[in-house]
Amino acid sequence: MLTIFDEGGALVVSDDAELAALVREMRWRDLFWTHRERLKREMRFVVVGHAVLEQALEPWPGITCKAIFVSPPGSVVSPQRSLDEQAAAWLAACGPQATPRDLAPLPVFGYPGWLPASDDPGFYADTRYFRVQRA
């Protein structure tokens, strides 16, 4: 899991439980289109995986991060802990049995404005970028 996070990880920074649920449920159109203004106000993606950052130089469909959810520093949920401290605590709590499936998939190219195509609602129907949740 740590190798996958090192290569393709991202932090989802938000205290908005409903938006976080949309990520976990892979409801991409709802997250990125229906709630796009709220998403831009209430949620940030901090890409830390060096392979994803490198791939972003020449984007291709299907680039997906594996995400850890953290609260904004200074928030009610985590008033004193940095993003790094929260991520480290989450990873430590997972223990040695953790697998990449413990990390939520996150198609970062859906974030409004990341790609010019994100201004078109049809973009979010493209399953090359936005895979559906497995049964």
69-127 pLDDT per residue, tens:
999 987 776 667 899 999 999 999 988 888 988 999 999 889 998 888 889 999 999 98
Which residues lie below 8 Å from residue 9, measured CB to CB, with a gap of 6+?
47, 48, 49, 52, 65, 66, 67, 68, 103
Confidence (pLDDT) at 24: 94
Question: Which tokens in the block code for residue 100?
Answer: 């990449």
Domain boundaries, the chain: 2-125
Would the pTM count as exceeding 0.85? yes
Confidence (pLDDT) at 56: 85
Confidence (pLDDT) at 45: 95
